[in-house]
Amino acid sequence: PLSAYESLGRRPRCGRCLPYARSIVEEESVAA
């Protein structure tokens, strides 16, 4: 899940503000 935030160059601060990042995290959670 961190890769989604690493791509942004920052650690997660507001997941609700990043709906696309949230989708990536959900996909990685399923793949993990």
Residue written as token pair 């942004």: 8
pLDDT in the model for residue 5: 61
CA angle 19, 6, 23 (to 5 degrees): 25
pLDDT in the model for residue 14: 58
Q: What pTM, to 2 d.p., does this model score?
A: 0.30
> What are 1-32's pLDDT values in tens digits?
567 666 666 655 555 556 777 777 777 777 76
* DSSP type of residue 9: T
Structure tokens at 23: 């989708």
pLDDT in the model for residue 2: 64
pLDDT in the model for residue 32: 62
